[in-house]
Structure 1
């Protein structure tokens, strides 16, 4: 099936007389006939559901759908995108380990890596993803467990050279984790370019309607855990499961099973059946929405690029953008609906511009069906120092615009009058 069809049919196939629409299994627990049946579940010998923290039929259907969309062997939904990023790392790394990450990632992820993981004993080195191979490889240590980057960085809009970064990660025997939130599998499938693990904030385009906070981790099944000496937890017995060895028991699905069996078991940041139902509704219209988001954003970026009081427009699909060539390789169908731009006058003019908008909403959100705007330096990236903001590619006056599905003329009209008000 093509992706548009998978969005509607993957993950759930009703049998004779069953509901056409994915049902909500609103139950925390499930019953079995014998203690032996339950024991097999706890020993990971058979698939099934026994407690909704670890698995639920509605959530499972959405996990199967997202895995199919990304081309992976399995997926695990989480309570938020932040939880997905955290578990993606903790499945690989523990106290004393190290991660290499692009510096231009979302501010919340930057804080997670720079502050919270550091408190847990996991150190993260931030690199310029556009640096030379030699410079990036200098950041690697004997205890490095992963490379991390975003397909399209939030909010700098830098496009990750996934193939190059995957090759560098594999050269030193570690997987590449890619946050594919802005691109979605409709615009880019990182596994096709060598990435090993994908994470999403499903709160964004996969949901698309600002209804449900969520995240997901997807396993490509392609990384050879046994070939690298860095991942003994995958290749040696797990005492918490009677000596089970993940690579031997689950083969290509070793990573995603370990993420669920260890991390979700102990951290408990699971998605709900109701939440998964909402996310599934969003995914069903993902291709149609992404087409319109991309069309509108390209028109808006061209409008902004022609305004006298706009200093810079960052949109990979805009001809002349520094990421234009990478976008042609990785984002052939479009570059999502998010634009970052800066107007003359810095913070003060930016604030006046935002306050002058009439239809477009000021929201701490992005990738919504409705157009919304945000000032990252004073909100999502507020905890970053000026130096860290610079490393992340964020200037004090940068504005993030999430272009929605309204008539593009109405979006442009609102932007035009707000830009005029800000220039007075």
Structure 2
């Protein structure tokens, strides 16, 4: 329909305004639209004033909130069974805002010793310079955790549901009870498990963090992060993020929202594939040790069996190449034909990463050794391909080691 309201304008003005800002529609699209606008306007100035004041459900500036991004936040909060969620530009941004909301100079953080390497770097390099002390502990040793908490001034306990890269499973209910007993909040990075396997907020966690780049997005085409929490804490996180600006764009929000629709289907297949791959690797003569919580030999098998449903243990597998050296690992990586060497995980593709070279590159050899990451460790994110093809590719690549 022609825009008769602006026909009196000259061409240059019509080129700018014609077709823009249509009135309300009497239909609802079957999928959430992408709202790329940076600014939202209102004919009623009182409504705009309310929007600028942070009124619920209204938008004025995308750094404060965006309809597409809000749809993603609603979806993640629902999956994690939390009141609210905040989407951010990356998983590290989600971690950073969570820590900022929890500590200040003079406070302490108790963190699992085997976190993602960049998380360790964030705590050691950035927050230490801001006067925040971090004590790294074995999160599976609850006596050690309590000893660290008992020293006082702890405002945040930070762990991963399934650790990166050794896949150690944290007893979330026990850790939450300890943290709260000593007046600390518990933040759990649930990226590896996803809400399909576990919802830490229902077990006592105060913040549930995702690198949405991984399983939530699932297709290797987007970068983002999400924190699920209470409505009050979400407001607090967003106030911080309005100042530092680690926002997720509407296009990225839409891609992650689209990815979430197939998350249960993908995770079911990936977990089943990973179990087959892990059992096959455990029998291979070139493999010294396999890290997979679904194997009875894994130190966290009992905890994983109690926490995770239906015999599913995640889609990540790690293993040590026998007599592993950097050169032997490189020969293995160069021999792969189907599996993709990539510094990520959680995609539909099977991907392999060498922690020494990538995720834990920022740690010294001594630091890596202290948390069990040797020179021969390889991490696999198992995809949705036919498991026979994944195993065949591993077999021919391991033959070249």
Q: TM-score under structure 1 normalisation?
A: 0.86
Deviates more, 1:28-37 or 1:160-169: 28-37
What is residue 241 of structure 1 aligned with on the other side?
none
Cα drift, residue 95 of structure 1 = 2.1
Deviates more, 1:22-31 or 1:43-52: 43-52
Residue 117 of structure 2 corresponds to residue 139 of structure 1: no
Pairing of 1:6-405 with structure 2 (within 5 A) = 17-133=27-143, 135-140=144-149, 141-219=151-229, 221=230, 253-261=231-239, 263-333=240-310, 334-347=312-325, 348-405=327-384
Residue 396 of structure 2 corresponds to residue 412 of structure 1: no
Distance 1:209 1:114 in 2: 32
Contact (CA 8 Å) 1:151, 1:183: kept in 2 or not?
Answer: yes
User: What SS does the corresponding residue of 2:111 show, helix, strand or coil?
Assistant: strand
Alpha carbons of structure 1 residues 307 and 44: separation in structure 2 relative to 1, 3 Å: same
Distance 1:132 1:74 in 2: 30
Q: Deviations over 1:93-135 (max 9, x none)?
A: 12222111101111111111111111222221111112242x2
Contact (CA 8 Å) 1:105, 1:392: kept in 2 or not?
Answer: no
Distance 1:293 1:418 in 2: 21
**Pairs aligned (count):** 374
Distance 2:194 2:389 in 1: 26
Distance 2:286 2:38 in 1: 55
What is residue 22 of structure 2 aligned with on the other side?
none
Q: Deviations over 1:217-272 (max 9, x none)?
A: 110x3xxxxxxxxxxxxxxxxxxxxxxxxxxxxxxx221101102x1111100001
Contact (CA 8 Å) 2:154, 2:183: kept in 1 or not?
Answer: no
Distance 1:46 1:106 in 2: 35
Cα drift, residue 41 of structure 1 = 2.9
Q: Deviations over 1:117-172 (max 9, x none)?
A: 11222221111112242x22222243211101000011110101101110110110
Cα drift, residue 329 of structure 1 = 1.4
Structure 1 stretches of 4+ with a deviation exceeding 6 A read none
In structure 2, stretches of 5+ residues that fail to align are: 1-24
Distance 1:368 1:113 in 2: 27
Q: Deviations over 1:349-407 (max 9, x none)?
A: 22211111111111111111111111101221111012321343311210001111111
In structure 1, stretches of 5+ residues that fail to align are: 1-14, 222-252
Distance 1:387 1:89 in 2: 27
Contact (CA 8 Å) 1:103, 1:391: kept in 2 or not?
Answer: no
Q: TM-score under structure 2 normalisation?
A: 0.90
